[in-house]
Copies of this chain bind each other. A is one copy, B any other.
Amino acid sequence: MQRQIMPSNLQEGAQAAGRAASLGLSELAALLKIDFDGFGIGANTSFTLRRVQQGMALYRAGDQFGPIYAIRSGTFKSVFLDENGSYQVLGFPMAGEVLGLDGIEAQRYRTEAVALEDSEVAIIPFPRLAHLGGRAGALQQFVYRLLSRQLAREHMQMWLLGSLGAESRVAAFLLIVGARYARLGYSDTRFNLRMTRLDLGSFLGLTQETVSRALSRFHDAGVIRVHNKEVKIVEVQELHQIVANARHSG
């Protein structure tokens, strides 16, 4: 039985009276180790600091997207939570790194960030920042989404590599490819794997032999039909079942 982490009440952060709990733009740039050629607009911008106690979540999966956070001190863990309750740690961000970027695209955080020790973050009001460009802003937003979307994709991929067994990986891959073809208006059950088994193995963290065997077994079990790169999914439900039979930490 998993216990929920207590919601941080955050009163104490506010009570650090005299000390300005904020950070200038140039300090932020230094923290993130990004040099700032043309300062221009935001040189006098400052960012509010927020304390996060050990074990507290900065944001949770599914929360409405708001700011992004630059870690000033401390350590976090970034966790991807599937709706089925699967759990995958994506990283352990530390001072100088940024949290919350994966939320841009869907306007919801897709992961959860939990402090592993008492920590401090600078709040970067991303939505406001992204609109600064005025008319060009829409274009900028465009690119932000592309980047954020890419991040989300790679999180899925890490989950696949981190918590599934060989057959589950292959099954998940087939379903994912089908979904991608569907988005493009093609069949999601009959398509062509354009890559070699070797490349597929590299992608899935398996050898080509293991990939081949998994496909053969699915074929023999009647779940799919496969001939070379041509694949037809016969029992979608069965594939989902195979994915659900994950190895560990499902």
A: residues with CB less than 8 A from B are 1-2, 4, 29, 32-34, 36-42, 68, 75, 77, 87-92, 94-96, 98, 101, 116-117, 126, 129-130, 132-148, 150-151, 153-155, 157-158, 161-163, 177, 180-181, 183-184, 192, 194-195, 199-205, 207, 227, 230, 248-249
Determine the chain B residues whose CB is within 8 A of the CB of A40 once the complex forms.
Answer: 134-139
CB of A235, distance to nearest CB on chain B (Å): 20
Q: Is the CB of B36 within 8 A of A138?
A: yes
Q: Is the CB of B157 within 8 A of A147?
A: no
CB of A191, distance to nearest CB on chain B (Å): 10
Max chain B Cβ within 10 angstroms of own Cβ: one of A87, A144, A162: A162
Determine the chain B residues whose CB is within 8 A of the CB of A145 once the complex forms.
Answer: 34
Q: Is the CB of A34 within 8 A of B142?
A: yes
What's the Cα separation between A88 and B201 when bound, in Å? 10
Q: Residue A202 contacts which of B37, B89, B141, B151 (CB distance < 8 angstroms)?
A: B89
Q: Residue A139 contacts which of B32, B41, B199, B249 (CB distance < 8 angstroms)?
A: B41
Q: Is the CB of A36 within 8 A of B147?
A: no
Q: Is the CB of B161 within 8 A of A161?
A: yes
CB of A138, distance to nearest CB on chain B (Å): 4
**Closest chain B residue to A198, Cβ basis:** B249
What's the Cα separation between A144 and B104 when bound, in Å? 12
Q: Is the CB of A146 within 8 A of B98?
A: yes
Please give me the 5 A-B residue pairs with the lowest Cβ-Cβ distance, nearest first: A133-B133, A40-B135, A147-B147, A162-B205, A116-B194
What's the Cα separation between A168 and B150 when bound, in Å? 27
Q: Is the CB of A161 within 8 A of B158?
A: yes
Determine the chain B residues whose CB is within 8 A of the CB of A248 once the complex forms.
Answer: 207
What's the Cα separation between A181 and B72 when bound, in Å? 14
CB of A101, distance to nearest CB on chain B (Å): 6
Determine the chain B residues whose CB is within 8 A of the CB of A155 once the complex forms.
Answer: 154
Determine the chain B residues whose CB is within 8 A of the CB of A163 once the complex forms.
Answer: 202, 205
Q: Residue A88 contacts which of B29, B39, B148, B202 (CB distance < 8 angstroms)?
A: B202
What's the Cα separation between A136 and B162 when bound, in Å? 40
Contacts A134-B136, A161-B161, A162-B205; is A94 near B184 (CB within 8 Å)?
yes
